[in-house]
Amino acid sequence: MKHISSRSNPEYKLLLRLSEGHHRGSQAVLEGVHLCQEWAARYGAPRFALFDAALLAREQGGELEALVRSGGSACASCEPALMRALSPVGQDQGVCFLVDVPQPQRPGRVDQNCLWLDRVQDPGNVGTLLRTAAAAGVGHAYLSPGCAAAWSAKVLRSAQGAHFAMAIYEHVDLAAEHARLAVPLLATSLQDGVSLYAQALPERCAWLFGNEGRGVDPALLQRADLKIFIPQAERVESLNVAAAAAVCLFEQRRQGLLHSASKA
Amino acid sequence: MKHISSRSNPEYKLLLRLSEGHHRGSQAVLEGVHLCQEWAARYGAPRFALFDAALLAREQGGELEALVRSGGSACASCEPALMRALSPVGQDQGVCFLVDVPQPQRPGRVDQNCLWLDRVQDPGNVGTLLRTAAAAGVGHAYLSPGCAAAWSAKVLRSAQGAHFAMAIYEHVDLAAEHARLAVPLLATSLQDGVSLYAQALPERCAWLFGNEGRGVDPALLQRADLKIFIPQAERVESLNVAAAAAVCLFEQRRQGLLHSASKA
């Protein structure tokens, strides 16, 4: 196997740029055994794989290498110091995959329980939102232009594998998508909303959350079938968008579980 | 008023170091009109205040300046470029306060609804946890050694003013504090817990959340009166600690509001 020992190697430089957040949109870098295994299970071989020699000597590494080779993709090993430089916390993750970002086809009709994000710009928030949605059983996420790139390194790190539990659609014109919506649109709003806890929430809906500072675009908010607020203590700032989404999505989940139990 | 135009000014250098995260523990820098107003309302004058000249010309700035001077503290103005350099996003926040970190005295008996954090190390998580707790009406936070410093710049940014809505105790030996606990200790656990939604939650308790990777210290977890899990979708990673806390604290809040309404 080819061994990379210089930072000026072109494949390495591309991985480093992507891991530092210079996202190209069409390619992404996945760090660590867990994410690479998830990718392999769902999408097969990556475009290119970089291994730490110590990982290759272990069974996990050997299996990943075999998979990469069976897909006809290139792989290389590298110095531990180079692998550590790819990690924001300076840890040797063992393996990195360079992959083409999946471009799932949007359903013609939006009738699933889904997450709609309007210009959520912080990568940590987008990642946490995807992770929370996946944990709540939400399988589809629609991201408007202006959201942090879903397959950027920071979002991947915060999402902890949620990318493999859901379909993520990016650069979606949410106002246009609204015409294809076959479930209610629910949005959190600090003004003229009804309490989250006063509602029988629909089993399936589109949950709309907005930009950290400016909230949901007013034109989009107007189209919401239900505006809700989370009853919070007085005289404190509103919740962080990812915390608000956790409260809403799990209140829907709680009601759904209760409903299933009462029917059983 | 003294005007600072050089980065080598000692007061400016201290503010810059604190805003970059070189936290000293005993001093903190507060950025922006909102946080500085909150500080002034609760604690009075800061140790030192730095103003952008444009803010001083406005009423908000004049009021803050008068307050600083009435407390006998020093203040200075500076170049907009220097003020922008204090902000992680390069925005001119208008004003920065250098303050002594409050050291509230811990109650002899812990009988309030409170947040216990065991080695939560990411500053964004600690800040979001404080913000969520404040929004849920939780007024006390106990942080173990190993948690991100509550008054560091990153935690202050994520917490959005929650520091002024609650008492924050740092470097707390949680195992020792347990002896003073007069309310139940509740912890989330992936093993042998009961569902959050199967519980009548206590009106007041200590909510214990642990390190991002390792969770709650096992010896501490053993002391929990109730271990709970959040029923989530199968085959996905657990929730981020701040998202998990949002779900738990607001489930307690929902039950409390329901209980109050039924009594009314």
pLDDT tens-place string over residues A63-75: 999 999 999 999 9
A158–B240 CB contact, under 8 Å: yes
Nearest CA in chain B to A166: B236
Identify the CATH class of A114-263.
alpha beta
Which residues of chain B lie closer than 8 angstroms to A243, CB-CB?
128, 131-132, 135, 242-243, 246
Annotated domain spans of chain A:
2-100, 114-263
Distance separating alpha carbons of residues A64 and A197, to the nearest angstrom: 47
CB distance from B162 to chain A under 8 Å?
yes
ipTM of this model?
0.94
Query: If one looks up domain B2-100 in CATH, what number appears?
Result: 3.30.1330.30
Return the structure tokens found at A187: 């949005």
Strand ranges, E, within chain B = 2-4, 27-31, 48-52, 74-78, 95-100, 114-118, 140-143, 167-169, 185-188, 194-195, 206-210, 226-229
Over range A106-135, report the average pLDDT. 97
CA-to-CA dists, residue B43 to A84, B39, B67, B157, B163, angstroms: 45, 6, 11, 19, 12
CB distance from B135 to chain A under 8 Å?
yes
Asked if B49 and B98 touch (Cβ cutoff 8 Å), the reply is yes
Distance separating alpha carbons of residues B249 and B128, to the nearest angstrom: 13
> Does A172 have pLDDT greater than 90?
yes
Low-confidence ranges of chain B (pLDDT < 50): none
Work out the pLDDT band at A21, boundaries 50, 70, 90.
confident
Q: pLDDT for A144-168, tens place per residue? A: 999 999 999 999 999 999 999 999 9
Asked if B125 and B157 touch (Cβ cutoff 8 Å), the reply is no
- Specify the pLDDT at position A253: 97
SS3 state at B257: helix
Nearest CA in chain B to A139: B233
Which residues of chain A lie closer than 8 angstroms to B131, CB-CB?
236-237, 239-240, 243
- Specify the pLDDT at position B161: 94
- Specify the pLDDT at position A234: 85
- Comparing CA positions, the residue from B132, B179, B221, B119 lying closest to residue A239 is B132
Can A2-100 and A114-263 be said to share one CATH topology?
no
Which of B137, B158, B232 lies closest to A136 in CB terms?
A: B232
Mean pLDDT, chain A, integer: 93
CB distance from A160 to chain B under 8 Å?
yes
- Specify the pLDDT at position A72: 92
- Specify the pLDDT at position A113: 97
- Specify the pLDDT at position B21: 79
Return the structure tokens found at B181: 């606990």
Distance separating alpha carbons of residues B134 and A233, to the nearest angstrom: 7
Q: Work out how many CB contacts closer than 8 A connect A with B.
A: 109
CB distance from A126 to chain B under 8 Å?
no
CB distance from A134 to chain B under 8 Å?
yes
Residue B174: partners with Cβ closer than 8 Å, 6 or more residues away: B116, B118, B142, B144, B208, B217, B220
Q: What is the DSSP string of A35-83?
A: HHHHHHHHH-S-SEEEEEHHHHTSHHHHHHHHHHHHTT-EEEEE-HHHH
- Comparing CA positions, the residue from A37, A39, A90 lying closest to residue A62 is A37
CA atoms within 13 A on the CB side of B149: 18
Work out the pLDDT band at A240, boundaries 50, 70, 90.
very high
Comparing A137 with A236, the larger pLDDT belongs to: A137
